[in-house]
Amino acid sequence: SVPAAITSAVSAGARRGLLIKGGAALEAIGSVKTIAFDKTGTLTQGRPQVTDIVPFGVNVGEVLRQAAAVEQGSSHPLAKAILGHAQGLELPAGEDARALPGQAVLATVNGRTLAVGSPRYAQEQGALTPEVKAQAQLLEGQGKTVVALIDGARVLGLLALRDEPRADAREAVAALKALGIRPLMLTGDNARTGQAIGKSLGLDVQAELLPADKLRVIEELKAQGSVAMVGDGINDAPAMAASDVGIAMGGGTDVALETADAALLRAEVGGVVELVQLSRATLTNIK
């Protein structure tokens, strides 16, 4: 019977680490036209490492210490990476920290309001000189994420971070295309960085998206057919909720898990391919 076939497919998925929240979710996954992926922590490991520090008029250690002091108030993966890199250093206190999601984090350090944020945010603050901009673009072309330490209208330094793609990401992207699905990367990161990573994985990229922009892109894609959104973070939850099928990547936040229609217990992009295959096989058997 139909319910029995679905129930048995849902338990077969569970045995393979694919958590599907009900028959409707299972049915929907097999007919998506587009699968949108968050970048950080979904297509990539979400553990960026600091690779370069470029100071402007101060020394390298000072850039790292002050950036880390600001990031003490953030739980962003970039914050964790910068704090990890500064481990063992004595940091000044960062007070009154506040986050601008998708842009920057601000804090008061030694009486001055400092920000660590995207080059785009630095530009909006009137702090991006041609010299700093050229340096940022060079690093972004290498697929690195660049953040600026900003003091008022001045960039004190750039920090570049690399986040390696998940081992099976490229293969999974190719498998989805072979199934007739369009894979797409959505990221808040810079366009140059996003394109470099998208090219290496073989999928199209929409970059420089604020959390609300991701939501808008999902709504636009839905006009062309059913859309799944795969993400791991709090900031992905609205886009996942707006999509036809929200899929939470293993190891992500509880909010992503709660919002999702399906979850991958293993942190492998290939789980998405398995979900599509399981859904299609089940529906074929029913029909």
Interface residues toward ligand ADP, by CB under 6 A: 38-40, 71, 74, 76, 78-79, 102-105, 116-118, 145, 147, 187-189, 235
Nearest residue (beta carbon) to ligand ADP: 188
Site string for Mg ion, 115-134 (x = CB under 5 A): --------------------
Question: Does residue 40 belong to the site contacting Mg ion (CB under 5 A)?
Answer: yes
- State which residue, 147 or 283, has the beta carbon closest to ligand ADP: 147
- What's the burial of 111, exposed, middle or buried (CB within 10 Å: 0-12/13-18/19+)? exposed
38 is catalytic: yes
Find the shortest distance in angstroms from Cβ 112 to ligand ADP: 17
- State which residue, 17 or 251, has the beta carbon closest to ligand ADP: 251
The span from the CA of 10 to the CA of 21, in Å, is 8
| Stretch of 10-18, 32-40, 103-111, 124-132 contacting Mg ion, by CB under 5 A | 32-40
The span from the CA of 126 to the CA of 140, in Å, is 20
| Whether the Cβ atoms of residue 102 and residue 209 lie closer than 8 Å to each other | yes
Interacting residues of 226 by C-beta distance below 8 A, sequence separation 6+: 28, 31, 32, 33, 34, 244, 245
Residues in 214-243 at the binding interface with Mg ion, rule: CB under 5 A: 232-233
Nearest residue (beta carbon) to Mg ion: 41
| Whether the Cβ atoms of residue 176 and residue 273 lie closer than 8 Å to each other | yes
Strands (E), 119-202: 145-151, 154-162, 182-186
Q: Rounded to an integer, what is the distance from CA 161 to the centroid of its chain?
A: 14
Find the shortest distance in angstroms from Cβ 246 to Mg ion: 14
Q: Would you tell me which residues interact with Mg ion (CB under 5 A)?
A: 38, 40-41, 232-233
Catalytic residues: 38
